[in-house]
């Protein structure tokens, strides 16, 4: 077989993997394994297939073959680090990553992959260097400029991020991610905005439904900035409706899951806490867009507290523990809740602390602000009884509208239709009331509205609850230099502002169906 044929198969496999045509890619990989078993490229291609398809057993088999052939290959090390990270082995992943020299990389693609791994490890300065090399090697890559813009945003370099977005858009005007990021990097004005360009692109449409949704969300955001509220909601609804067609989601199942947690985890069960005495973790919980990032920035204003970002370790470890405890056939999510009461919470707590070593490093304390952790509040307390739990709340209608207006891509799937958002919010609200009632002073509740109106008093109580030494720096959280990796990365580097309080009132008519549902559920909105 010729080298040209091998290269053709490798190219076909990569094309199929990128298109998520995994069956065809798998067939091509079998040919590569049979005909070129001593070529590392055959196995790295199979490894890429396993990673994208989330078939980690297959990926491990390919990695083993690749390591035996070229253990120090830069591509093999990159893929090994990614596989470790994808399988919740963050510390080992970073150890492998540190063995890779940027100077040894000679292609834009591998530089970009190195940047993406550093990005996932929240090593943004290192990611920036890798992405800079990537665009040096390929100045015509809109994706490369966008990746660099994303890093600059999280580092707080908003002018630099804006410049990189403009460079990406100059190369590819319909580069959806760059259009979306550019609109969110600053507040637009009536005289300086991108609404005309965005409207032309949005009205043109696109077969890429996700990309089209991004354009509509960006347009809605800019229209809201210039106070064109009616047209803003029109495009926001279009954005949500369009994106909702791209995934399958059963909101009733989600609501039943939350209700089952409330039912199963009674006060009696919540008293079965572990003996773990570690107090390093501070969990900042709450629905997205309700101020949790702001609270995180306040708490981490001192160097003694590290921002670990939004960690999915706790729910993942809980899921693994349930799987180990239950060796039977498939069960419903409601049955999983019952099974979760049988797991060893002390073990989960110890595993959680072990998994967070890379994120918290040598810091005395660290903040985990993954919003979804809030539904597991009682379980977190059972696993880590000395951990601090801060629950952030916001006016129900401001919370719902702030969620509805944001594009979260692969999470919070209830947020794109008002009826589903209302149903989820009601179940979530009732679960949080249950946690507050059963756990009492274990939870420290922070009202976003009170933080805006009485910031010094609220911040002092928060810092006291977290058992941190007081400093005036906590009041100047906007000067916090730690990277922020959420949709609020721009806002949290500003001083407190009240313009978002009561924003829902500009859409009172459009939100009427949601308002009625919340009223019928006896949720206070006045």
Please identify which residue in the block is written with the tokens 């909101």: 251
The pLDDT of residue 514 is 97
Q: Domain range holding 300?
A: 251-520
Identify whether 233 is part of a domain: no
Print pLDDT tens along the chain (526 aa).
467 889 999 999 999 999 999 999 999 999 999 999 999 999 999 999 999 999 999 999 999 999 999 888 999 999 999 999 999 888 899 999 999 999 989 999 999 999 999 999 989 999 999 999 999 999 999 999 999 999 999 898 999 999 999 999 999 999 999 999 999 999 999 999 999 999 999 999 899 999 999 999 999 999 999 999 999 999 999 999 999 999 999 999 999 999 999 999 999 999 999 999 999 999 999 999 999 999 999 999 888 899 998 999 999 999 999 988 877 778 889 999 999 999 999 999 999 999 888 777 767 899 999 999 999 999 999 999 999 999 999 999 999 999 999 999 788 999 999 999 999 999 999 999 999 999 999 999 999 999 998 999 999 999 999 999 998 888 876 655 555 455 454 554 445 667 788 999 999 999 999 999 999 999 998 7
Tokens of 29: 């990989």
**Distance in angstroms (rounded) separating the CA atoms of residues 88 and 110:** 22
Q: What is the DSSP letter of 21?
A: -
**Which one, of 127, 220, 133, 230, lies nearest residue 179 by Cα?**
220
Identify whether 184 is part of a domain: no
Identify whether 325 is part of a domain: yes
Tokens of 289: 């867009």
Ramachandran quadrant class, 307 (left: phi over 0; alpha: psi -120 to 50; beta: rest): beta
**Which one, of 46, 88, 51, 85, lies nearest residue 67 by Cα?**
46
**Which one, of 449, 424, 306, lies nearest residue 372 by Cα?**
424
Identify whether 204 is part of a domain: no
Backbone angles phi, psi at 391, to 5 degrees: -105, 120
Query: How many Cβ atoms from other residues are within 10 Å of residue 319's Cβ?
Result: 14
Number of H helices, E strands in the chain: 27, 5
Identify whether 189 is part of a domain: no
Strand runs labelled E in 184-304 = 281-285
B/e letters for 436-465, b = 16+ CB within 10 Å, e = fewer, are bebbeebbbebbbbebbeebeebbeebbeb
Asked if 524 and 431 count as a contact pair (C-beta separation under 8 A), the reply is no
Identify whether 269 is part of a domain: yes
The pLDDT of residue 495 is 57
Question: At a CB cut-off of 8 Å and minimum separation 6, what does 200 contact?
Answer: none
pTM, to two decimals:
0.87
Query: How many Cβ atoms from other residues are within 10 Å of residue 109's Cβ?
Result: 14
The pLDDT of residue 493 is 43
Q: Is 498 exposed, middle or buried (0-12, 13-18, 19+ CB in 10 A)?
A: exposed
- Domains in the chain: how many in total? 1
305: helix, strand or coil:
strand
The pLDDT of residue 126 is 96
**Distance in angstroms (rounded) separating the CA atoms of residues 300 and 304:** 8
Tokens of 141: 């890559």
Identify whether 56 is part of a domain: no
Identify whether 214 is part of a domain: no
**Distance in angstroms (rounded) separating the CA atoms of residues 365 and 309:** 13
**Distance in angstroms (rounded) separating the CA atoms of residues 55 and 72:** 24
The CATH code of the domain that includes 310 is 3.40.50.300
Q: What are the C-alpha distances in Å from 67 to residues 71, 117, 184?
A: 4, 19, 43
The pLDDT of residue 485 is 52
């Amino acid at each position: 077989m010729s080298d040209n044929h091998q290269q053709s198969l490798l190219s076909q496999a990569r094309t199929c993997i990128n298109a998520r045509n995994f069956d065809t890619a798998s067939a091509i990989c079998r040919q590569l394994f049979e005909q070129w078993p001593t070529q590392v490229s055959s196995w790295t291609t199979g490894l890429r297939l396993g990673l994208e398809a989330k078939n980690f057993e297959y990926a491990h088999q390919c990695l083993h073959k690749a390591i035996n052939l070229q253990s120090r290959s830069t591509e093999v090390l990159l893929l090994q680090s990614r596989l470790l990270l994808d399988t919740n082995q963050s510390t080992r992943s970073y150890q492998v990553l540190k063995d890779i020299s940027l100077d040894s990389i000679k292609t834009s693609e591998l530089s970009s992959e190195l940047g993406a791994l550093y990005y996932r490890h929240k090593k943004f300065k290192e990611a920036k260097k890798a992405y800079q090399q990537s665009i040096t090697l390929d100045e015509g890559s809109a994706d490369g400029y966008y990746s660099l813009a994303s890093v600059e945003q999280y580092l707080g370099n908003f002018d630099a991020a804006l410049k990189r977005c403009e460079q990406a858009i100059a190369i590819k005007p319909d580069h959806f991610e760059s259009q979306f990021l550019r609109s969110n990097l600053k507040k637009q004005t009536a005289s300086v905005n991108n609404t005309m360009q965005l409207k032309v692109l949005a009205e043109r449409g696109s077969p890429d439904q996700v990309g089209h949704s991004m354009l509509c969300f960006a347009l809605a955001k800019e229209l809201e900035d210039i106070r064109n509220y009616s047209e803003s909601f029109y495009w926001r609804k279009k954005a949500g409706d369009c994106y909702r067609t791209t995934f399958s989601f059963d909101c009733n199942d989600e609501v039943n899951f939350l209700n089952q947690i409330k039912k199963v985890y009674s006060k009696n069960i919540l008293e079965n806490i572990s003996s773990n005495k570690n107090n390093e973790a501070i969990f900042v919980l709450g629905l997205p867009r309700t101020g949790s990032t702001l609270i995180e920035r306040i708490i981490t204003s001192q160097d003694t507290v590290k921002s670990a970002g939004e960690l999915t370790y706790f729910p993942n470890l809980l899921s693994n523990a349930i799987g180990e405890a239950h060796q039977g056939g498939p069960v419903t999510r409601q049955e999983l809740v019952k099974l979760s009461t049988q797991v060893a919470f002390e073990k989960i707590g110890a595993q959680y602390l072990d998994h967070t070593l890379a994120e918290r490093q040598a810091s005395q304390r660290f903040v985990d602000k993954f919003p979804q952790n809030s539904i597991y509040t009682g379980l977190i307390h059972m696993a880590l009884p000395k951990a601090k739990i801060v629950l952030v709340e916001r006016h129900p209608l401001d919370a719902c509208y702030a969620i509805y207006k944001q594009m979260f891509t692969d999470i919070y799937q209830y947020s794109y239709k008002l009826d589903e958002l209302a149903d989820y919010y009601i179940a979530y609200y009732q679960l949080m009331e249950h946690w507050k009632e059963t756990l009492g002073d274990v939870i420290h509740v922070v009202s976003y509205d009170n933080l805006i109106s009485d910031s010094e008093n609220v911040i002092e109580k928060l810092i006291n609850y977290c058992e941190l030494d007081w400093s005036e720096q906590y009041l100047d959280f906007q000067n916090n230099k730690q990277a922020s990796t959420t949709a609020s990365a721009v806002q949290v580097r500003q001083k407190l502002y009240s313009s978002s309080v009561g924003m829902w009132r500009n859409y009172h008519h459009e939100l009427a169906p949601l308002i009625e549902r919340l009223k019928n559920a006896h949720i206070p909105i006045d």
